[in-house]
Amino acid sequence: MPATYTLPPALAAKAIALDHALVDLHFARELWPIVLLILLLELHIPARMAAAATRMTPRRWLQVILFAAPFFLLLSLLELPGAIAAHHILLRFGLSIQHWASWSLDVAKFIAIEEVLVSTLFVLILFWCIRRAARTNAPRRWWLPCWAIFVLCIIFGVLVTPVVIDPLFNKFEPLAQTNPALVTQLERVVARSGVSIPPDRIFLMRASAKVTESNAYVTGFGASKRIVVWDTALKNTPPDEISFLFAHEMGHYVLRHVPLGVAFAAGLMFVCFWLGAHVVDWLLARFGPRWRIASLQDPAALAVMLLVLSAAQVMTEPIINAFSRHIEHAADVYGLQTMQGLVPDPGATAASSFQRLGESNLDTPERRPFVEFWLYNHPAIADRIAFAATYNPWSAGVHPKYFAPNPSP
């Protein structure tokens, strides 16, 4: 297996065109909410919606709901063209086969559950923290209890998402029900790890109903923790390569990357909440009268907070992706070490699986350092192939990080 990622000329041109289209759209969709929120604030739309909610009821918590739910719905509808453009691109390049009616239903469910219901609940918590801080004569400390509660909400969300949310969008079933022979093969991989991953924690996702891409991932927390393999990854993929992909995901499982990711997110959120609170205070002091927002307790102040949040998401994206690349590389290393003794040449098997994954997902062979730095949440496919093809932790004088020096088959 060559240590380089290559595609036939026609496929390479297609992959490069797809990458340029998606990258351009990504940056446009990141900047659009910032422009949109500034425009809405300048037109006094949040102030008018907050005033209408205040007229409807004297109850503060109900005012927040009556403002936040319609406001999130408005933002979702105004951001919908970007989602439509993204799906159109995926359809045009053959990575999606989901019809528009099915896609629209998924979008409607996503908006209703995550963009309106969950977001409104978060806003209730947010304004409770703001008003509680004001009553305790610490109005500038509202962000600290809010941060702590949000971290608990994230942990709860990671716990329930695989069980409650994911099945609303895709069909899952234990892999043992559809492919017991593969589960038996994967149990040999699990045995190398020294941990227990019961077969009922290994799931098959029927991704082929919507996409042609291949993937596998680890998700959940505690009792909901599981490894999920897309059915598209099982098609036309040799068993040894499936085993390596599973070993990579098992690396996330064994190395506890999900709780590590939650801890990283909590730390980054702490900084963003602290800094964001100061920026929101400055914006309200500078532009509050212009935007007709009286104070931080005004429901319309949510628009200012979302403006700061949108800017923070743009600025922290390369930090988040750098962290993601780090743990993905660690999972690659773990997968390669796991496969030692299970296949004749783990590096060649891994390199072949990455090549096949790149072809399936139309990963671009073009190297754009800034794009990779800012957007890639995995190492570039070319780097993963080169590393796998040359990695040999069992050579003289080199000690593998996760396993004993002399594994047995």
The C-alpha atoms of residue 49 and residue 40 are separated, in whole angstroms, by 11
Highest mean pLDDT range out of 87-91, 145-149, 402-406?
87-91
With a cut of 80, say whether residue 397 has pLDDT above it. Answer: no
C-beta of residue 309 within 8 angstroms of C-beta of residue 273: no
What's the sign of the alpha-carbon dihedral 199, 323, 162, 357? negative
The C-alpha atoms of residue 211 and residue 91 are separated, in whole angstroms, by 9
The C-alpha atoms of residue 207 and residue 398 are separated, in whole angstroms, by 40
Q: What percent of the chain has pLDDT over 70?
A: 97
Instruction: Read off the tokens for 383.
Output: 């780097």
Beta bridge partners of 230: 205
Beta bridge partners of 219: 226
For residue 409, name the pLDDT band (cuts at 50, 70, 90).
very low
With a cut of 90, say whether residue 193 has pLDDT above it. Answer: no
Whether the model pTM is above 0.75: yes
Average pLDDT, the chain: 93
The C-alpha atoms of residue 301 and residue 306 are separated, in whole angstroms, by 9
The C-alpha atoms of residue 242 and residue 214 are separated, in whole angstroms, by 11
The C-alpha atoms of residue 245 and residue 229 are separated, in whole angstroms, by 9
* Chain segment 360-391, per-residue pLDDT in tens: 999 999 999 999 999 999 999 999 999 999 99
Instruction: Read off the tokens for 217.
Output: 């991932």
The C-alpha atoms of residue 141 and residue 44 are separated, in whole angstroms, by 27
The C-alpha atoms of residue 113 and residue 119 are separated, in whole angstroms, by 8
Average pLDDT over residues 87-110: 97
The C-alpha atoms of residue 12 and residue 358 are separated, in whole angstroms, by 11
248's enclosing H/E stretch is helix 239-254
Burial class (CB in 10 A: 0-12, 13-18, 19+), 364: buried
Cα end-to-end span (Å), the chain: 23
